[in-house]
Structure 1
Amino acid sequence: MSGHANVSPVLAIPGADPKLYNHDLAPVAPAGRTWGVFDIFAMWMSDVHSVGGYTFAASLFFLGLTGWEVLLAMAIGITAVYFLMNLIGGPSLKYGTPFPVVARMSFGVMGANLAASLRGIVGIVWYGVQTFFASKAVQVLVLTFYPAAEALTHSSFLGLSALGWFSFLFMWLFQLLIFLNGMETIRKFIDFCGPAVYLVMFALAIWILAQTGLSSLSLQLGPGGEGSAIGQMANAAMLIVAYFAALLLNFGDFARFAENERAMKVGNFLGLPVNFIVFAIITVIVTAGTVKVFGEAIMDPVSIVERIGNPWVVALGAVTFIVATMGINIVANFVSPAYDISNLYPEKIDFRRGGLITSILSVLVCPWIFVSSPQAITIFVGVFGAALGPMFGIMIADYYLVKRQHVVLEDLYTMSKDGSLHFQGGWNRRALIALAIAGSISIGLSLLGAYGVIIHVGDWGWLIGATLGALLYTALMRSLKAPSLSRSSATA
């Protein structure tokens, strides 16, 4: 990204090792901190306002709880996410560094590559999956206005039709052109995405209400469930925390650009508790209305606009879906792998090249084959999702309990053995031990539960992993003697 017009000013680190430093991994200078409250708010709108987010929000109202119990569980879950996001954003806000550099604080200057790689793999796979979902909307758009393209759906190559390949590669290239312009263009794009999707969702809700009247304003979509309502509400709240698990690691990639702590916290408050609950209520109004209008509950907004029958409404719905998918792909699946891959080889790979590699790898995943295999998704989510919790717990425990929010900035970019973050050859073995033990338990519980071997822990696996990771890491680090931590504890 160096030399590109769309580059944020950064702080120069004298003597920084090129193995650990480039323009995109360097701390953002005060002049580069341009993200205000609205930008952070819009980032969360882009993350939540996707078809996946819509379906997820609607599904919570089918858990067998009353509508008000679901709303209360949502409020608890999303408020927990809000506080956790503020915690993980703290070090990036203070030092201006992205997630892979913050990971060096706990895992060591080289050990951070392991943490970044795990998060990067998750991002790359879901980037491909979301691009494929968006390409299906492109396909709907083409067939709506050019029905003769149906002929291109009869032959297939590697499991995808000619029209499917055209739609996927169009979406892939369209995203890439925006993403490679850098974080400032990304900021402007997501400022547009979230509000644009809201406009269409409000329009859809108004259309539904016009068809059904106020009688559709029911928050009760599913039949009453069995068992303790409190237990089900707790599960629903944890489901929300697990939904945000990936961003609970790399929110710092965005927080580093925030103007100040107030901008981050107010933006997070508007974007998480407020926005998530408002979006969920709109989702319920629309989903409940489809029961009366179409005779069944439709949880896919693209299917709703398709059934309206007007080609221009279908076009609007498809374009909105494309924009929404690009929004969540930026926030959740592109920025993190781009930084994570850059962190592996900073001398040769900057943010733009990392993003290009992310895009190429996302095609090699063949996401259309991946999403057709529920077993593959279950294993992937079980293994990688359960590993994210322990990493979060370790990083939070390290920064707030072990280092007391004090780190030597220069030590994040040095391979010197005297550096407080060098540990053993650049690897903090205590962090790796904590990650291995907590991750094994978390992944084991998740997979054994999924296959019915033991009681299914559901989405509590993330909390179990995060708590275990934090406790194990804190206990192991207590045995670490000075001088390794003396410099960091003495320096603000």
Structure 2
Amino acid sequence: MTTAQDASHTGESSPDASQATATGTSTRLYSPDLAPTKKEGRNWSGYSVFTLWANDVHSLGNYAFALGLFALGLGVWDILAAFLLASLFLFGLLTLSGYMGSKTGVPFPVMSRIAFGVKGAQLPAMIRGGVAIAWFGIQTYLAATVLSALLKALIPSLASWEQTSVLGLSALGWVSFLGLWVIQVLIVSFGMDAIRKYVELAAPAVLITMLALAVWMFAKADMSIAMDAGNAFTGADRWLHILQAAALWVVIYGTFVLNFCDFTRSAKSNRSINIGNLVGIPVNMLFFAGIVVVLSGAQFKLDGRVVTSASDIVQTIPNTFLLVLASLALIVLTVAVNLMANFVAPVYTLVNLFPRKLNFRRAGVVSASIGLVILPWNLYNNPVVVNYFLGGLGALLGPVFGIVMADYWLIRKTRVHVPHLYTEHPEATYAYRKGINPRAVGAFVPAAAVAVVIALVPAFKGISGFSWFIGALLAALLFVVLPGRPGVPEEDVDGEDIAVPSV
């Protein structure tokens, strides 16, 4: 095959910089960062996948959610049951999603082109990226609060820096936030391999720290814990709340099940995905749940207080040296979570929007800058914004997932013509109608409307926790039954020999 770069050396005509010729690659759809990962360049092992989950599961936000279950009336066994159910379900979803990335080698914005079309894919990519940018800022703010508390413990005079406020954040808060912001931008500037290495190094420290914290609390409570907070649910109501807790945990990972291919595109094999997911999801999530019930049950036994954050417990450690180590571990953890869950997705979204202007590094700076200028501490401290804006965007992820999965597994039966994901030729597999698949749009709009209504309208509060599932199932069903051009290739074609366009 003669590529565009070859043509420039042989005297043959090369593709126009803004248009695809014949079925050639278009510069509006291609960049080196969006190109399929070649087999020889894949370096994510089973341990790499495991450490991704080892960090992400133990995030401060997840601890706040899980510890809150104890306050809501779920007992120790209820919390363990909820996480067991959720982890088994997530293991299945994430394994299916991971296989897609391993086979095609493409990131999520490109993967979305299969179902939504080469232009229609911008919609799901922007939804996923928009949610991630907001949470990047919020998670950085949460890590900054831990750093500020640590700095005050080491240098008490810094407490005076909290007496002045600029744009809703104290001077000490700004120093902590900007310091962590710069560190994350620097790591991302070195690409996905730097993120992998950071995550692999952070995971053992995080797991050891959280286990040590749980053991310390257990010993402090005389080797026993309260089994509930005195307001435990019973009967059918108990099982309903267990199922709702499990569903909400799955919803938390509704973002990751979409763009897991951003990571598994670099997986060495499906076996790496299987091993990493098995240890990282069911095993690690039950380990997480065990730590949660010990922390919450021990604290309640000690003083009748329901703790709502792991950082609250860390700050009660009487030994300054151990306090510093635990606080640093939480900061390292939050940075790792941000890099994986809230940085990679918007970076690929921005590169997909502007492939000729942005690369991974520049898109990382743009994404982080947006996460800063939205003043995320104000978002986090405004329940209306978090519940309605981020909750509404989150509800849209279910329908996107349902369409992508139904298209790949049920309609196409895993057959993908990877080079056609990068061409605008009207006869290409994923051209559909002017680059947009009407079938996907027809399934997404009503399913998304239903999911958002269920998630946000108070009348549906009883089933709001299931909005992601309802949206995903409804969208998948509509996508399968609606008429439309299937665009199924006769056989698989990988992306090893994609023609690189000249610029």
Gaps of 5+ in 2: 1-22, 494-503
Q: Whole-Å Cα distance in 1 between the matches of residues 24 and 149 of structure 2? A: 54
3-state DSSP of counterpart to 1:459? helix
Residue number among 39, 44, 52 corresponding to 2:53 in the alignment: 44
Q: TM-score, normalised by structure 1?
A: 0.92
Matching residue of 1:77? 86
One-letter code of the match for 2:479? Y
Shift in alpha-carbon separation, 1:390–1:306, aligned structure 2, 3 A? same
Matching residue of 1:9? none
Give 1:104-183 correspondences, 5 Å limit.
104-183=113-192
Matched, 1:444 2:453: yes
Matched, 1:282 2:291: yes
Q: Whole-Å Cα distance in 2 between the matches of residues 355 and 459 of structure 1? A: 32
CA-CA distance at 1:295 after TM superposition = 4.5
One-letter code of the match for 2:473? T
3-state DSSP of counterpart to 1:28? coil
One-letter code of the match for 1:143? K
Shift in alpha-carbon separation, 1:455–1:240, aligned structure 2, 3 A? closer
Moved more, 435-444 or 67-76: 67-76
User: Is 1:63–1:222's contact at 8 Å kept on the other side of the alignment?
Assistant: no
Give 1:317-332 correspondences, 5 Å limit.
317-332=326-341
3-state DSSP of counterpart to 1:296? coil
User: Is 1:65–1:222's contact at 8 Å kept on the other side of the alignment?
Assistant: no
Q: Percent identity?
A: 37
CA-CA distance at 1:66 after TM superposition = 4.1
Residue number among 176, 201, 204 corresponding to 1:195 in the alignment: 204
Moved more, 399-408 or 51-60: 51-60
CA-CA distance at 1:120 after TM superposition = 0.5
Residue number among 439, 442, 447 corresponding to 1:433 in the alignment: 442
User: Is 1:445–1:456's contact at 8 Å kept on the other side of the alignment?
Assistant: no
Matching residue of 2:411? 402
CA-CA distance at 1:17 after TM superposition = 1.0
User: Is 1:446–1:456's contact at 8 Å kept on the other side of the alignment?
Assistant: no
Q: Whole-Å Cα distance in 2 between the matches of residues 169 and 64 of structure 1? A: 38
CA-CA distance at 1:219 after TM superposition = 4.5
CA-CA distance at 1:454 after TM superposition = 4.1
Shift in alpha-carbon separation, 1:355–1:60, aligned structure 2, 3 A? same
Matching residue of 2:8? none
Matched, 1:220 2:228: yes
Q: Whole-Å Cα distance in 2 between the matches of residues 323 and 120 of structure 1? A: 23
Q: Whole-Å Cα distance in 2 between the matches of residues 256 and 377 of structure 1? A: 31
User: Is 1:119–1:337's contact at 8 Å kept on the other side of the alignment?
Assistant: yes
Q: Which runs of 4+ in 1 moved over 4 A?
A: none
User: Is 1:63–1:225's contact at 8 Å kept on the other side of the alignment?
Assistant: no
Residue number among 356, 380, 385 corresponding to 1:376 in the alignment: 385
One-letter code of the match for 1:428? N
One-letter code of the match for 2:484? L
3-state DSSP of counterpart to 1:307? coil
CA-CA distance at 1:226 after TM superposition = 5.0
Matched, 1:485 2:472: no
Matching residue of 2:263? 254
Once the two structures are superposed, what CA deviation does each residue of 1:342-400 show, in whole Å capped at 9, x if it has no partner? 00011111111111111000001110111111111110233101100000000000001
CA-CA distance at 1:212 after TM superposition = 2.5
Matched, 1:468 2:474: yes
Query: Relative contact order: is structure 1 or structure 2 higher (C-alpha 8 Å, sep ≥ 6)?
Result: 2
Q: Whole-Å Cα distance in 2 between the matches of residues 397 and 78 of structure 1? A: 22
User: Is 1:106–1:428's contact at 8 Å kept on the other side of the alignment?
Assistant: yes
Q: Whole-Å Cα distance in 1 between the matches of residues 209 and 277 of structure 2? A: 23
CA-CA distance at 1:177 after TM superposition = 0.9
CA-CA distance at 1:455 after TM superposition = 4.7
Once the two structures are superposed, what CA deviation does each residue of 1:193-249 show, in whole Å capped at 9, x if it has no partner? 222111111211222233223223x54345221551332222122122111111111
Residue number among 456, 464, 467 corresponding to 1:458 in the alignment: 464
Matching residue of 1:273? 282
Q: Whole-Å Cα distance in 1 between the matches of residues 410 and 97 of structure 2? A: 13
Q: Whole-Å Cα distance in 2 between the matches of residues 123 and 321 of structure 1? A: 20
Q: Whole-Å Cα distance in 1 between the matches of residues 363 and 71 of structure 2? A: 40
Moved more, 191-200 or 60-69: 60-69
Moved more, 459-468 or 162-171: 162-171
Q: Whole-Å Cα distance in 2 between the matches of residues 414 and 380 of structure 1? A: 34
Gaps of 5+ in 1: 1-13
Once the two structures are superposed, what CA deviation does each residue of 1:159-198 show, in whole Å capped at 9, x if it has no partner? 1121111111111001111121111111011112222111
User: Is 2:71–2:306's contact at 8 Å kept on the other side of the alignment?
Assistant: no
Matching residue of 1:10? none
One-letter code of the match for 2:259? N
Matching residue of 2:12? none
Q: Whole-Å Cα distance in 2 between the matches of residues 119 and 174 of structure 1? A: 23
Moved more, 358-367 or 14-23: 14-23
CA-CA distance at 1:133 after TM superposition = 0.7
One-letter code of the match for 2:267? A
One-letter code of the match for 1:133? L
Q: Whole-Å Cα distance in 1 between the matches of residues 66 and 182 of structure 2? A: 30
Residue number among 61, 65, 87 corresponding to 2:96 in the alignment: 87
Moved more, 195-204 or 252-261: 195-204
3-state DSSP of counterpart to 2:254? coil
Q: Whole-Å Cα distance in 1 between the matches of residues 409 and 253 of structure 2? A: 21
Moved more, 168-177 or 296-305: 296-305
Q: Whole-Å Cα distance in 2 between the matches of residues 296 and 453 of structure 1? A: 32
Once the two structures are superposed, what CA deviation does each residue of 1:437-483 show, in whole Å capped at 9, x if it has no partner? 100111012111xxx3345322100000000110111112xx235xx
Shift in alpha-carbon separation, 1:150–1:72, aligned structure 2, 3 A? closer
CA-CA distance at 1:38 after TM superposition = 0.7
CA-CA distance at 1:124 after TM superposition = 0.2
3-state DSSP of counterpart to 1:246? helix
CA-CA distance at 1:97 after TM superposition = 0.6
CA-CA distance at 1:62 after TM superposition = 4.1
Residue number among 107, 110, 132 corresponding to 1:98 in the alignment: 107
CA-CA distance at 1:145 after TM superposition = 1.6
Matching residue of 2:430? 421
Shift in alpha-carbon separation, 1:169–1:455, aligned structure 2, 3 A? closer
Moved more, 461-470 or 299-308: 299-308
Q: Whole-Å Cα distance in 1 between the matches of residues 446 and 440 of structure 2? A: 10
Shift in alpha-carbon separation, 1:244–1:30, aligned structure 2, 3 A? same
3-state DSSP of counterpart to 1:298? coil
Matching residue of 1:4? none
Q: Whole-Å Cα distance in 1 between the matches of residues 29 and 82 of structure 2? A: 43
Moved more, 162-171 or 126-135: 162-171
Residue number among 238, 246, 270 corresponding to 2:247 in the alignment: 238
Output the aligned Cα RMSD.
1.7
Shift in alpha-carbon separation, 1:325–1:110, aligned structure 2, 3 A? same
